[in-house]
Amino acid sequence: MEQAFKKFTGDRRVQQWAAILLLVLVFLCFFLFLYAQFRQATIQALSEVSRDFVDWVNTVSDAAGENIRTSAMQMFYTSSVRTLRTDRNLSVSSRTVGLRDLGTFVSSSDFLDSVMVYNGAMNMIFTSEGNYPSAPPEQFHDSDAVQLLTHPEQYPYLSPIQRTVGGRRCYSFLFFEANGDTPSALLLNVNGNWYETHLLGISAGQGHIIANSSGEPIVSTDENLLAQLQASWPALKEQLIAQPDSGQLLPPLLSSQPCWMYYRLTPSGWYYFKCLDFNDISPALARVRDVLLLSFGLAGSLIVAVLIYLAVRVYLPFLHIRRALQQAGEIPEDLPGQVSELMASQRRQEDARVLQRLRDEGKLPPDTVLPAVILLCEERDPSRLQSLLEPVCSEPRIASDEGGTVCLISSCTKENRFRLLALLRQENIPACAGFSCFTVEELCHSQAELEELRRMRFLYPNQPVLEQEQLALCNSVSGFQAKMAVSLVGALRSAQLETARNEWESILKAIQKDRYADFCFAIRYLCRQLAGLQKELGASPTVSADSILDGLRSLETLTSYIDDQLCSIAQLATARQKERLARLCNRVWEQIRAHYAEEAFSAQQIAATFDVNAAYLNRQFRQSAGISISDALHQIRIEQACRLLRQTGEPAELIAQKVGYSNIKYFFVIFKKLTGSTPRQYREAAES
C-alpha cells in the first residue's frame, strides 16, 4: 500500500492537477483580501448614515413619548379623576363627574380608544367604555387590564404594552405614582393603527420595521421585509448582544443579504430596524462580490472534479485490497455481524430522517405504499418493536422520539390495521394507532392527532391501545365556562370546602371529553384563579398548572392535587373569616360601650355607622359572639346599672335613665331577667 501511494503521488497528471488547484486557491484568497478592503471602506461610509438614522429615530420616539406622557399626566392629576382614583368614600356625584371627564378625554382625543382608572382604596376599576360597566377587579371584563392596574409595579412605566381589547389591537400605557398614599393607577388604551402610523413615524416605502428583542414583528410596512428580517435574525441577534443600543449589520462576505441599521427605543425596549439593499449602498462592491461568487463556483466545480478523480485513483485500489484480504481469510469472524449491525443502524437513521421530513415538510418516503398507518408506541426499543410487528407488516419505518417510537406502516388496509391493533393488545404494548390514510395530507393530520391523543393518555388509564377514532368522541366545543371557576373560587372565599369540591367535580365532568388543548386551558385557568385567591388570602401562590400537567399519567393524580389545593385554600379562608368576624365583633362592642347610655341607640344605628345591612351585621355578630346585638346592648346597660347600684345611692329610676332606659318598668323587667333580682334586692345584697 505504501508503494501504491508513492506511485500515485508521483504521477505527473496528479501533480498538474494539484498545482492548478493551488493556483486557484491563491488567486481566490487574494481576490477575497481586496474585497475585504472595499468592504471596510463601505462600513466607514455607512457609519455616517447610521448616525443620521439614530438622530431621526430619537426625534420620532421622543415626540411619541411626550404626547403620551402629557395626556396621561393631564388626566391623572385632573381633580375629578384624582377623586375617582383615590377617594375611599366616593359619592355617586363624584363618580359620575369622574366617569364623564374620562369619557370627555377619550372623545376629544383622536388616538385614545378607552381609559381605565383603578381606585385601590375602594378596590374598584372605572372605565370610559360605554359597553362595559365599572366593577371590582374580580368582576371586571378585561382580565389583562386588571393585572396591569392592580400590580403596576411589575410593568414598565408609560411603556407601550401591545394588547387586543374587544377584538381591536391597541397599545396600553400604564401611569401611576410609585409612592402614593393610596394605590391607584391609570391605563391609557391607544388605538393600534393610529399609534403605529403617527406616533412611531412609520410610512410606507421606507424599508422600516419594528420588532421586539426576540425578533417578533410589532409593526411592518412590507411583508417581504418581514421575511428578510427573519432570515437575517440569527446574525442580527449576535449584533444586538454586542451593541444593544444602536448599530448596523453588514451581510457576510460574498452574501447577497441586505444591510440593516437598528436603534433601541426606550422605554419599550423594541428595536427600530431599517433595511438597506447592499447593491444600493455600494454598487461597485456588489459587482466585486458577484465576480467572487462566480470564481468560487468555478473553483468548487474544479475541486469536485479533483475529488472524483482522487476517489477513482485511490479508493478503487483499496477496495481491491479489501477483497483480496477477504479471500485470504484475514477478515475477523464477526465481520458479517458488524456489517449487519451497521446496516441496521443506518436504516434507523434513514427512517428517522424520512419520518421527520414527513412531519415537518409533509413529504412521503418514495417507497411508501398507500394506504398507510401511523403508530405511536411507548416501546423504546425499535428492534424489539420491529420483531413484534413482523407478523402483520413487513419492514415498517421506525424511529425513536421523546415519547417512545414512531412507526410508519405501508400497505396497511383496514383488515391489516385490525390485525395490528389485536396484536398490540395481545402483547399489551401502550400505543396510539391512526386511520388507514390514502394521502400524505391524511398521514400528516393523523400524526398530529395521535400526538394529541398520546398526551391525553391519562384520561384512559385502562386502555393500552388508543385509536384515532376516540378523538371524534371529544367535544367540538369545550364544556368549560369561566363562571364555573368563579363559582369554585367564590365557595372557597367563603370557606365552603364541600361546595368547592362539588364545583371541581362539575368542572372535571364538563372537560373530561374535551380536546387536549381545551382541557389544559381549563386547568390552567382554574389554577390561575386559585393562585390569585391564595395571594388574596395572604399566602404565597403554590398552585401551578404546568407542574401537574407536565408528565401527567392519571386523572387521579390531577384530582388529588386539586383537592389538596382546595383544602389548603379553604383553611386559609376559614382563618381569614374568623379574623374578620372577630374584628367586626370588637368594633360592635366598642360602639355599644361608647353609646349604651343613649336611649335611641340600637343595632340599626350601629349598622348605619358601618354602612352595612342591619340583619347582616346582627347575623355576623351572633356567629362570632353567640348573642344578638340587642342582647349585648342590654348586657352592657345592666352591667353599668349594677355598678351604679353598688357604688352610688341614686334611685333606680335615675340609674335607669343613665344607662339608656326611659321606661322604668321595662328596665326592671330586663334587670331581673339578666340578674335574677330587682334593683332593690341587688343593692341590698351588695350592701350586706
Whether 104 and 170 share a structural domain: yes
Cβ(113)–Cβ(148) below 8 Å: no
Specify whether the CB–CB gap between 662 and 597 falls below 8 A: no
Region 286-300 average pLDDT = 67
Same domain, 399 and 346: yes
Dmax over CA atoms of the chain, in Å, equals: 143
Q: Is residue 332 part of a domain?
A: no
Shared domain check, 224 and 194 = no
Cell of 63: 415626540
Nearest to 142 by CA among 120, 121, 168, 122: 168
What pLDDT was estimated at residue 447?
85
The percentage of residues in the chain with a pLDDT greater than 90, rounded to a whole number, is 6
Ramachandran area for residue 458 (φ above 0: left; ψ -120 to 50: alpha; else beta): alpha
Query: What does pLDDT average to over the chain?
Result: 79
Residue 525 near residue 482 (C-beta atoms within 8 A)? yes
34-38, 277-281, 319-323: segment of lowest average pLDDT: 319-323
Class of residue 349 by CB neighbours under 10 A (exposed 0-12, middle 13-18, buried 19+): exposed
**Residue 228 belongs to some domain of the structure:** yes
How many domains does one find in the chain? 5
SS3 content of the chain, % helix, strand, coil (to 5): 60, 10, 25
19 vs 247 pLDDT, higher one:
247
Whether 122 and 157 share a structural domain: yes
What pLDDT is attached to residue 203? 47
What is the pLDDT, as a whole number, of residue 205? 46
37 within a domain of the structure (yes/no): no
C-alpha cell belonging to residue 249: 449589520
SS3 (DSSP) at 481: coil
68 within a domain of the structure (yes/no): no
Query: Which residues constitute the domain of residue 378?
Result: 342-473
Does 12 have pLDDT greater than 60?
A: no
Q: What is the pLDDT averaged over residues 478-484?
A: 89
Q: 5 pLDDT exceeds 50?
A: no
Structure-model confidence comparison of residues 161 and 506, the more confident one:
506
Confidence of residue 503 (pLDDT cuts 50, 70, 90): very high
- Domain CATH number, residue 678: 1.10.10.60
Region of poorest pLDDT, from 56-70, 73-87, 311-325, 483-497: 311-325
Q: Tell me if 99 is assigned to some domain.
A: yes
The pLDDT confidence band at residue 522, using thresholds 50, 70 and 90, is very high
| pLDDT exceeds cutoff 60 at 9 | no
Report angle CA 282, 284, 288 to the nearest 5 degrees: 115
Residues 95 and 139 in one domain: yes
Cα gap 66→63, rounded to integer Å? 5
Mean pLDDT in residue range 73-102: 86
Q: Which three cell numbers stand for residue 442?
A: 391524511
Residues 562 and 665 in one domain: no
Q: Tell me the pLDDT band of 30, cut-offs 50, 70 and 90.
A: low
CB atoms within 10 A of CB 390: 11
100 and 195 inside one domain: yes
Q: Are 121 and 88 in contact (CB under 8 A)?
A: yes
Please indicate, yes or no, whether residues 255 and 189 belong to a single structural domain of this protein: no
Quick check: is 254 in a domain?
Answer: yes
Q: Which carries the bigger pLDDT value, residue 147 or residue 578?
A: 147
Residue 335 has pLDDT above 50, yes or no: no
To 10 degrees, what angle do helices 614-625 and 555-595 make?
100
Amino acid at 2: E
pLDDT of residue 502: 92
Residues 181 and 248 placed together within one structural domain of the fold = no
- Written as one string, the DSSP assignment of 219-254 is EES-HHHHHHHHHHHHHHHHHHHHSSSEEEEPPPTT
> Could you give the count of Cα atoms lying within 13 Å of 663 in the half-sphere of its Cβ?
5
Count how many Cα atoms sit within 13 Å of the Cα of residue 361 in the half-sphere of its side chain.
Answer: 8
Q: Residue 512 has which C-alpha cell?
A: 373530561
CA separation for the pair 293, 35 (Å, rounded): 11
pLDDT at 213 over 70: yes
pLDDT over 60 (residue 325): no
Which is more confidently placed, 384 or 678? 678
Contacts for 385-391 with beta carbons within 8 Å, 24 or more apart?
385/429, 388/423, 388/427, 388/429, 389/420, 389/423, 391/423
Taking residues 96-125, report their average pLDDT: 87
CATH number of the domain to which 226 belongs: 3.30.450
- The enclosing domain of 161 has a CATH number of 3.30.450.20
What local confidence, expressed as pLDDT, does residue 155 receive? 83
Cα(60)–Cα(50) distance, rounded to whole angstroms? 16
What's the whole-number mean pLDDT along residues 453-463?
A: 84
- How many CB atoms are located within 10 Å of the residue 383 CB? 10
Written as one letter, the residue type at 288 is V
How many CB atoms within 10 Å of residue 323?
10
Look up residue 352 and give its three cell numbers. Answer: 428517522
> Would residue 48 count as lying in a domain?
no
> Does one domain contain both 400 and 493?
no
Q: What is the pLDDT of residue 6?
A: 45
Select the more confidently predicted residue: 31 or 492: 492
Residue 50 pLDDT > 60 = no
| Helix, coil or strand: residue 412 | coil
Say what the pLDDT of residue 525 is. Answer: 92
Please calculate the CA angle 598-599-605 and round it to the nearest 5 degrees.
70
Q: Which residue type does 116 have?
A: M
- Record the cell numbers describing residue 159, joined without a space: 411603556
Specify which residues 169 forms β-bridges with.
Answer: 164
What distances in angstroms separate CA 78 from CA 114, 180, 186, 190, one per listed residue?
17, 16, 12, 19
Domain boundary residue, one of 578, 611, 636: 578
Domain boundary among 265, 283, 301: 283
- Neighbour-count burial of 233, counting CB atoms closer than 10 A to its CB (0-12 exposed, 13-18 middle, 19+ buried): middle
Higher-pLDDT residue of 103 and 34 is 103
- The residues, ordered by sequence, that sit 6+ positions from 13 with a Cβ below 8 Å of its Cβ are none
Question: What is the reported pLDDT for 229?
Answer: 80
pLDDT at 506: 92
User: Are residues 644 and 531 part of one domain?
Assistant: no
Range of lowest pLDDT (43-57, 164-178, 362-376, 436-450): 43-57
Residue 310, domain member (yes or no): no
The length of the chain in residues reads 688
**What is the CB-side half-sphere exposure of residue 86 using CA atoms within 13 A?**
13
Task: Return the minimum-mean-pLDDT range out of 25-39, 72-86, 444-458, 499-513.
Answer: 25-39
Domain boundary (517, 548, 578) is at 578
The model scores a pTM over 0.85: no
- Taking the CA atoms of 157, 158, 162 and 163 in sequence, report the sign of the dihedral they define: positive
State the pLDDT at residue 3: 43
Strand partners for 273: 209, 262
Tell which wins on pLDDT, 133 or 223: 133
The answer to whether the bond into 258 is cis (omega within 30° of 0) is no
pLDDT of residue 1: 41
Are 548 and 447 contained in the same domain?
Answer: no
The CA-atom distances, in angstroms, between 108 and each of 104, 112, 272, 291 are 6, 9, 30, 61
CB 596 within 8 A of CB 633: yes
Predicted local distance difference test score (pLDDT) of residue 2: 43
pLDDT tens string 525-567: 999 999 988 888 888 888 888 888 887 888 888 899 899 989 9
Give me the torsion for CA of 291, 292, 294, 295, rounded to 10°.
120
Determine the residue type at 228. Q
**E strand spans, 348-498:** 373-377, 397-401, 404-409, 431-433, 465-467
As a whole number of Å, the CA-based R_g of the chain is: 40
